[in-house]
Structure 1
Amino acid sequence: MGGALVTHVASRPGHSFSKTLQTEIRLIAGLGVEGDGHAGATVQHRSRVAKDPSQPNLRQVHLMAGEFHDELNAAGFDVSPGDLGENLTTRGIALLELSAGSRLRIGHEAVVEITGLRNPCWQLDAFQPGLTAASLGRDAEGGLVRKAGVMGIVLAGGLVRPGDAIAIEAPAVFRKLERV
């Protein structure tokens, strides 16, 4: 099995931290994951709603590399797909190295455009102490590296299941991912 693929899908109504694994999820263009607490055209995260509820929702879908779970588990944490709030767990794709604006064609229909990085927050430490620090690192120049996955918006909806292939369409000009 080679190439980039989805290994797990998860969703959950409401604003709880972890998501429940599913056999499939439906992505809805302009909204996110059907039935998920973070779906919507405008921002859904409580802290962002409190500041300006009219902001566009650039965090409709949360993707996390299964390789990051491996890294955390090797460091002594007990983390499984969905635990850290991700909707899609992937393998074989360097999510953090993508350009903002990259389009991921997932399965037969769905297209997600990457908008930026998830910013690790206090909820990680509430889940397991030390996870926030483990989700941050430094690059060769000393810059902060946020390792807790990427966020995206749904351009084309469709069903997404474990085992679905992911094809990457990079934009013409590379733009470094920033937190959203």
Structure 2
Amino acid sequence: MSGRVTAVSSNGEYAFTKPNRDSITLLAGLGVEGDVHAGVTVKHRSRVAQDPTRPNLRQVHLIHEELFAEVGEAGFEVGPGDLGENITTRGIDLLGLPTGALLRLGDGAVLEVTGLRNPCLQIDLFQDGLLKQVAGRDEGGNVVRKAGIMSVVREGGVVRPGDAIEVELPAGAHRPLERV
């Protein structure tokens, strides 16, 4: 399975959206250089309030560009970086990846998929009603999260729009993504 990076984004300050960049540098064990969410321990405000010593499993946030077209059909206008992601992709079923999948991108960077982003109410502050488009329930009543995936940086490197992404699935049984 392979795809492409369509945009990269980062922000050194807490804000919902992240400005697009020409490139981002991934730092092993930390996240995106200069991004407010980079670090060994949790950096998202709600997680810090609960326990600031927990490991940061949300170093790098990825969203599939195909989601923008999907929510666009419902009348929402969303683009790269608008939902706070660091890397926007095309051509990979991010939500269908198993826990532990490796994403090889850029000039040697490697991300390990840790889980699903748990969309929050800030999405509705960005555009009223958007939260229901990226989080809901299926026919069986199970929660469905579509606001991207989270990962940690295993090997650092520079990532740019246009870079290829190669997926390496982990050995063993497929462990579906859960929220992190």
What interval of TM-score do these two structures reach, taking the shorter chain for normalisation? Answer: over 0.9
Shift of 1:3: 4.2
Flag structure 2 segments of 5+ consecutive residues without an equivalent. none
Q: Distance in 1 between matches of 2:39 and 2:106?
A: 22
Q: In the alignment, what sits opposite 2:166?
A: 167
CA RMSD of aligned residues (A): 1.2
Flag structure 1 segments of 5+ consecutive residues without an equivalent. none
Shift of 1:144: 1.3
Written as runs of structure 1 = structure 2, the 5 A alignment for 1:74-113 is 74-113=73-112
Report the residue type matching 1:178 in the other structure.
E
Q: Distance in 1 between matches of 2:14 and 2:43?
A: 9
SS in structure 2 opposite 1:64? strand
Shift of 1:108: 2.4
Write out per-residue CA displacement over residues 107-161 of structure 1, whole angstroms, 9 at most, x where no aligned residue: 2210000000001100000100001111113345332110000000000000000
Q: In the alignment, what sits opposite 1:178?
A: 178
Shift of 1:14: 1.5
Q: Distance in 2 between matches of 1:70 and 1:27?
A: 27
Report the residue type matching 2:137 in the other structure.
R
Report the residue type matching 1:31 in the other structure.
L
Report the TM-score, using the length of structure 1 for normalisation: 0.96
Report the residue type matching 1:175 in the other structure.
R
Written as runs of structure 1 = structure 2, the 5 A alignment for 1:85-164 is 85-139=84-138, 141-164=140-163
Report the residue type matching 1:8 in the other structure.
A
Q: In the alignment, what sits opposite 2:36?
A: 37
Q: Distance in 2 between matches of 1:114 and 1:166?
A: 13
Amino-acid identity (%) = 59
SS in structure 1 opposite 2:123? helix
Report the residue type matching 1:113 in the other structure.
E
Report the residue type matching 1:88 in the other structure.
I
Q: In the alignment, what sits opposite 1:59?
A: 58
Q: In the alignment, what sits opposite 1:9?
A: 8
CA contact under 8 A between 2:2 and 2:167: conserved in structure 1? no
Shift of 1:75: 1.0
Report the residue type matching 1:57 in the other structure.
N
Q: Distance in 2 between matches of 1:138 and 1:107?
A: 35
Report the residue type matching 2:94 in the other structure.
L
Q: Distance in 1 between matches of 2:6 and 2:71?
A: 17
Shift of 1:37: 0.6
Report the TM-score, using the length of structure 2 for normalisation: 0.96
Report the residue type matching 1:127 in the other structure.
F
Q: Distance in 1 between matches of 2:138 and 2:100?
A: 22
